[in-house]
Amino acid sequence: MRLHRLPKFLQRLLPHTEWRGPVPAGSKPLYLTFDDGPIPVQTPFVLEELARYQARATFFCVGENLERHAEVAQQTLAAGHRLGNHTYHHVSGWSLPPAGYVAEVQQCQQALEALSGTSDSRPLLRPPYGRITRAQAATLHANYRLIMWDVLTYDYDAAYPASTCLRAALAHTRPGSIVVFHDSHKAQRNLRAVLPQYLATCAAQGYSFEVL
């Protein structure tokens, strides 16, 4: 079974995390996020699609991809998007003690700051797979905003038909949703089929696309 939105009681198990974005009165913001890049081909495709709607988004970057494909990351920043931390090696917090996980996050953050030339006062962190322990979250919360999601599209699932992926993503979308796509090779088929239609439908419904 695919849970596009985790139940509230599961979200409460991690009190230091954010699952939705702000919704100012009279607005319909969406917070599109893209995980696992930056990489050639897939990330530029996303940037082209976002530009069609003057959409801004947040890209949670794997540190080693940042260093391999710095030019793609610079292109993302130049287009007005925000970069966030997705650990250096895309590791599960469940497989590491707090100190080891914090080291992964810090290594990625160093790569982000070297790329941008600035230090973010409260950088964004998304745990790969959403897997982070309460102890890790409590430690990192002092210096990072821990961003989870309101809508997980499952675009990375090769067994998930694109039409079903799109339909489910739209059905769960609401103002303030933090929506997860992936700019990765694994997600290529669904990403290319679903993202253009998702953007077009949400724009037609009056949503705006904002950075976190």
State the burial class of residue 51 (Cβ atoms within 10 Å of its Cβ: 0-12, 13-18, 19+). Answer: exposed
Q: Is 35 a catalytic residue?
A: yes
Find, among 27, 9, 1, 44, the residue nearest to 209 by Cα: 27
Distance CA 31, CA 145 (A): 15
Q: Which of 36, 81, 182, 183 is catalytic?
A: 182
Distance CA 87, CA 102 (A): 9
Rounded to an integer, what is the distance from CA 91 to the centroid of its chain? Answer: 15
Q: Which of 35, 36, 150, 183 is catalytic?
A: 35
Q: Is 182 a catalytic residue?
A: yes
Positions marked catalytic: 35, 182
